Chains A and B, each alone.
Chain A
Amino acid sequence: MGARYVGAAVARVEDPRYLRGEARYVDDIKLPGLLHAAFLRSPHAHARFRGVDTARAAAMPGVVRVFTFADLEPFLKPLPVFGAPPPGLAERIRFTIRPTVQYALGPGIARYAGEIVAMVVADSRARAEDAAEALEVEWEPLPAVVEMVAAARPESPRLYPDWPDNVAVGFTHAIGDADAAFGAADVVLEERFRIQRYVGMPIEPRGVVAAFDRRDGTLTTWNSTQVPHFVQQGLATALGLPPGRIRVVAPDVGGGFGTKAAGYPEDALIPIAALALGRPVKWSEDRREHMMAAAHARHQVHEIALAARRDGVILAVRDHIWLDLGAYSGWGIVLPYNTVAHLLGPYRIRNLQVEVAAVVTNKTPSAPYRGAGRPETVFAMDRAVDCLARRIGLDPAEIRRRNYLGADELPWDLGMPYRDGNPLVYDSGDFRSALEAALAAAGYAEFRGAQKRLRERGIYQGIGISGYVEGTGIGPFEGATVRLDLAGRVSVATGAASAGQGHETTFAQVAADALGVPLDWVTVVGGDTAAVAFGVGTFASRSAVNAGSSVHEAATAVRAKLVRAAARLLEAAPEDLTIEDGRVSVRGAPGSAVALAQVIQASLPTFARAGVAAPDFEATACHHVPTVTWASAVHVVRLQVDPETGVVTLLRYVVAHDCGKVINPRIVDGQVHGGVAQGIGGALYEELVYDEHGQLLTGSLMDYLVPTAMEVPPIETVHLEYPSPRNPLGVKGLGEGGAISPPAAIANAIEDALEPWGVRVTETPVSPARLLALIGSRRTA
């Protein structure tokens, strides 16, 4: 098998339909008799309500039905939850986990502003909205629990009265002997860092269309989701239908970033409405709904301490971590444990002690978003390391050189389990080479000289570094089915839905190479539960590893079947056959070549003869991925600060990264760029802000500031390929990585630029007002 396509920057096969405006997103789907839903959502962050008076709304023009909890009770099961600790992890760490029960449509209580209270179905969206406004609800407001650290204290009002406090997931964890290391340290650095709420904000909001076919009792639903098989399972539970009767299709999806990997009330409510009404129903989330009802992410507080020797060698880390879950805890240990598992990153640190509290608050529930705990934890760690460097007078690059693990130290066993319960062992990579490569590409050494000269002219430029090591490709598997048609053309189906990642191209590259066919023979379908029976979905940088491996495995199995049949047809030994460019031949005898179509057709019986082999050119694989494989990167950013306005201008951004074997460098670059842009948003612009009553103040894209092309500087990438030993393709995940380091790198660079004033950046986004306040307090001090 030659690698003809894997590794090549082939142009994406899916592009033409997008470019012509012919892609089909959920909101583009129209069905005869389609009805439209709108929701009444709680205006209060925390309130009980008694009955919803639907009379006036139900009588309005175009309204077909109004649904409240009472109308739907038999269908309303608690929404699915994830993140129970697997055995290997549960043995090692004692988690306190308090489950929350969330219904698609609340029974008498709302725990965040935006929670659904009632659903209106009408003949147009505008009319559904008219009617939703006419619903009357009697509210009894309760105290809103908003600020997370305060909410974790026992004296705080509680969201769930039968809990002792608002901590939904709590644990402590230690490796080595942190106390001894702190006792022996020359330097102890303590700091408190705050990472704000911010989130993926795909440009396409969510959407669901559902239609029930009475004739065969099947439900089809189109959902702008990253996880169609999860949605299918949720619906099977809610509706009491077998999974085979429920088809979930994620058509073209306009960005996900984790936001669309959660299970949502609307996933169930729209199908339920379609069932109840016997007509297809559509709901297209609008931006206002998206801001308050699609998952939020990120908000964490770290009280971190580093113990170090005078020469900068870090001996131990202590960290007290709070995470804001919002009103419901749907993800168990996923975010809190991810945060811990990625805290040490590329640093050689043997002693760690953490205390973690994931806290419920009266805000929109949070879910994993691109990086899922990593950007937060890397911010705390890399900021602390820079503070330490400054304290002992070391350059930030030098302190990293002294503490980064060397390539010769890998595999590196952290002495703790990963989230999947298996030992956390960095499998491959070279973090120091990544550091040097990034520094060189950014011109670090030269910049230090230039920086001084600029400062003398009153120009404040800075450079910042951040690195991470990321567990990617979490298993346990992804389903893939590979099948040939009569002409030898290939269809590949996987559970890994694409939301722009280019799966139709990358998986085609993998399948084409494994089979020995031209790329354009392969069609990839992701996100249709009818096309592949078992699947998981696209999130956590998992698809290249999981789906890629399964596609490879299934395609390899199909190839074996082809070879077996061709051997009969050509009367040759199977091991003597090769498949290239869609033709099978005996090695060394090109004249023997026959087209795959011939092999397939020869396998089908005719009146004259039986087939040469079983006409089975299909295989399904769920490649087992027991644990993650470790990708890594170092980011370096250069920027300029206007100390009189607090405005930060990014000048250059460099990423040196290892995502194992690269399937398509063009697509990899695109993923990195996109991740960095989102990280820039987190560093400087984006924040979901609540007031003390739990009202979201950033309810539109006027106030929630997604970076534009003017805010994202030129980005350079350096690819370092250290193939993963943990999967047949040697690949690692890279979807999330770009978003991990920018907040830390940018904050570090800002401090570097403002070194004369000793400014310390402890929270993001670093808005001009925040920064000027920091500068001001230093200048006058």
Chain B
Amino acid sequence: MTRVIRVRVNDQAHERQVEVRRTLADFLREDLDLTGTHLGCEHGVCGACTVLLEGEPVRACLLLAVQADGARVTTVEGLAAGGRLHPLQEAFRAHHALQCGYCTPGILLTAAAFLAEHPRPAREQIREMLAGTLCRCTGYQFIVDAVAAAAQAMSP
């Protein structure tokens, strides 16, 4: 069974026919070639697939593509505005907050939404936010540093 859906991804409109059982993650990766959204578990735990749906973080593996019909989605590919790295991306590089990079897109988007709500977060709040996305490489220390630094850089 298929349906035609229209989705705005990173400010670009797409119209595609999809199988109703296709998840948003597979839709982004397979149909739109936006392979920055990663799959690590397909059951909601790892957070590697996290994208923004109407500005809020969601697991793209737990949403059917048909459910995103008419919605606005931001993926990691949309984070660097006009080619310039987002302050979070800059901070992740400066603080060595990534190793294999597989978890990174989900964490960047989760953190972007978080900083929008908490412009001056305490380290403990950052850790709690990060707890929703698993990283197996970094031990999280430098990710906390990077988010804290990005918050600084972004606050006026």
Chain A residues packing against B (C-beta within 8 Å): 11-12, 14-16, 18-25, 27-28, 30, 126, 200-205, 252-255, 257, 284, 286-287, 499-502, 666-667, 669-670, 672-678, 700-702, 706, 708-710, 712, 714-715, 738
Q: Does B135 contact A (CB under 8 A)?
A: yes
Some 19 contacts from A to B, beta carbons below 8 A apart, are A19-B101, A21-B105, A25-B35, A25-B38, A27-B29, A202-B102, A203-B136, A204-B48, A253-B100, A255-B136, A501-B99, A669-B142, A673-B138, A674-B99, A675-B139, A700-B41, A700-B43, A708-B132, A710-B127
CB neighbors of A among B69-115 (8 A): 75-77, 79-80, 85, 89, 92-94, 96, 98-105, 108
What mask results when residues 1 to 43 of chain B are scored 1 for a CB within 8 Å of chain A, else 0?
A: 0000000000000000001011000000100011111111111
- In the complex with contacts A21-B75, A126-B21, A700-B45, A500-B140 CB distance below 8 A: no
B137 near A674: Cβ-Cβ < 8 Å: yes
Q: Name the prevailing secondary structure of the A interface residues.
A: loop
B41 near A701: Cβ-Cβ < 8 Å: yes
- B37: chain A residues at CB < 8 Å are 21
Beyond the given A21-B36, A202-B100, A670-B137, please list 5 additional residue pairs across the A-B interface where CB-CB is below 8 A: A15-B101, A21-B76, A499-B100, A502-B99, A702-B45
CA distance A205 to B48 in the complex (A): 12
Q: Name the prevailing secondary structure of the B interface residues.
A: loop
* Closest chain A residue to B144, Cβ basis: A709
- A27: chain B residues at CB < 8 Å are 29, 35, 38-39
Q: Does B151 contact A (CB under 8 A)?
A: no
- B117: chain A residues at CB < 8 Å are none
- B93: chain A residues at CB < 8 Å are 11-12, 15-16, 19
B96 near A19: Cβ-Cβ < 8 Å: no
Cross-chain contact of A286 among B35, B42, B135, B137 (Cβ < 8 A): B42
CA distance A202 to B100 in the complex (A): 9
CA distance A259 to B21 in the complex (A): 31
B96 near A255: Cβ-Cβ < 8 Å: no
B137 near A15: Cβ-Cβ < 8 Å: no
CA distance A266 to B100 in the complex (A): 22
B141 near A712: Cβ-Cβ < 8 Å: yes
| Shortest Cβ distance from residue B54 to the other chain A in the assembled complex, whole angstroms | 20
| Shortest Cβ distance from residue B84 to the other chain A in the assembled complex, whole angstroms | 11
B35 near A24: Cβ-Cβ < 8 Å: yes
CA distance A253 to B141 in the complex (A): 21
* Closest chain B residue to A678, Cβ basis: B136
- B131: chain A residues at CB < 8 Å are 708-710
CA distance A255 to B103 in the complex (A): 10
- A502: chain B residues at CB < 8 Å are 99
Q: Does B148 contact A (CB under 8 A)?
A: no
A287 near B42: Cβ-Cβ < 8 Å: yes
CA distance A700 to B46 in the complex (A): 10
- A205: chain B residues at CB < 8 Å are 40
- In the complex with contacts A673-B139, A700-B41, A706-B134 CB distance below 8 A: yes
B100 near A20: Cβ-Cβ < 8 Å: no
- B36: chain A residues at CB < 8 Å are 20-23
| Shortest Cβ distance from residue A625 to the other chain B in the assembled complex, whole angstroms | 25
| Shortest Cβ distance from residue A143 to the other chain B in the assembled complex, whole angstroms | 32
Cross-chain contact of B141 among A25, A28, A30, A715 (Cβ < 8 A): A715
CA distance A30 to B30 in the complex (A): 9
B85 near A287: Cβ-Cβ < 8 Å: no
A709 near B130: Cβ-Cβ < 8 Å: yes
Cross-chain contact of B43 among A201, A254, A702, A708 (Cβ < 8 A): A702
| Shortest Cβ distance from residue A654 to the other chain B in the assembled complex, whole angstroms | 13
| Shortest Cβ distance from residue B85 to the other chain A in the assembled complex, whole angstroms | 6
* Closest chain A residue to B106, Cβ basis: A203
| Shortest Cβ distance from residue B89 to the other chain A in the assembled complex, whole angstroms | 4
A701 near B99: Cβ-Cβ < 8 Å: no
B94 near A203: Cβ-Cβ < 8 Å: no
- A714: chain B residues at CB < 8 Å are 141
B34 near A21: Cβ-Cβ < 8 Å: yes
CA distance A135 to B140 in the complex (A): 43
CA distance A341 to B64 in the complex (A): 52
Q: Does B143 contact A (CB under 8 A)?
A: yes
CA distance A270 to B141 in the complex (A): 38
* Closest chain A residue to B85, Cβ basis: A19
B41 near A252: Cβ-Cβ < 8 Å: no
- B33: chain A residues at CB < 8 Å are 30
Cross-chain contact of A20 among B43, B89, B102, B130 (Cβ < 8 A): B89
* Closest chain A residue to B104, Cβ basis: A18
- B39: chain A residues at CB < 8 Å are 27, 284, 286
* Closest chain B residue to A701, Cβ basis: B45
- B134: chain A residues at CB < 8 Å are 203, 701, 706, 708
B98 near A201: Cβ-Cβ < 8 Å: no
* Closest chain B residue to A664, Cβ basis: B96
